Structure 1
Amino acid sequence: MTDPVHPTSTGPGAQDVLAQRVRDLVPAGREVREVRMFGGLSFMVDERMAVAAGRDGSLLVRTDAGRHEELLGRGAQPATMGPDRPMGRGWLTVPAPLVDDDRELGFWIQVGIDSRDAPASP
């Protein structure tokens, strides 16, 4: 059996669809709070930002800066706050098509949750 695929990954309503999927996939027992920031809906897990659902269906992920290159190899892109404004190591954007699959989305959510114990990005 394969994970469900969510074809509404981009366009109107993409953020809402992604946000609901994030809610459904955050592991039970975690304190979760939603905050609007970074142009999206951020998910604070145990009081630290883990991921944010972007308006375009992309996912902003807080990561351990030491895993930056590894995670770029999975299709993530360096996160920016606009043209010529990189957010630095420890912040990645995962394009919407790469989180259409629940298994992949769950992986990225866990990366964001795991980052809470990582040192701050330089």
Structure 2
Amino acid sequence: MTYEIDLMHPGHKAWTVTREELPAAYVDLKEGNSPSVTWGDISDGGVVIVQVADDYSVVTLGVDDTFYWLQTSDDDEPVTVEIGGTDGEVPRGALVPRELGLEVLLRVDNLAALRTDYMWAEQ
């Protein structure tokens, strides 16, 4: 199982890590680089994308041609965050603890459980 890490600042840099390498790589990610970690592809059954900030993460699950935000509350007030190097709006409830992003990435081998074990809101 592999994951792609993308840094958007100061220039685009991408590399692949294994499941075993992911926790150490995740700890080293810095918000100023606009990092994201991706596993899978929606056309292959599912994708998980985690935008990593210093004190939160934004987790997206894509399955069955639909994308969902992971949420820890139903607060839908829009907030601006950097996603993929550009500003985007997400519901406040989609700002989840940074560690939760890593937890979800480590559980991608069971997307059915991810869909039921966490609260998701359609994007």
**Normalized against structure 2, the TM-score is what?**
0.36
| Structure whose residues are more often strand by fraction | 2
Considering Cα pairs closer than 8 Å and 6+ residues apart, tell me whether 1 or 2 has the greater RCO: 1
**Normalized against structure 1, the TM-score is what?**
0.37
| Structure whose residues are more often helix by fraction | 1
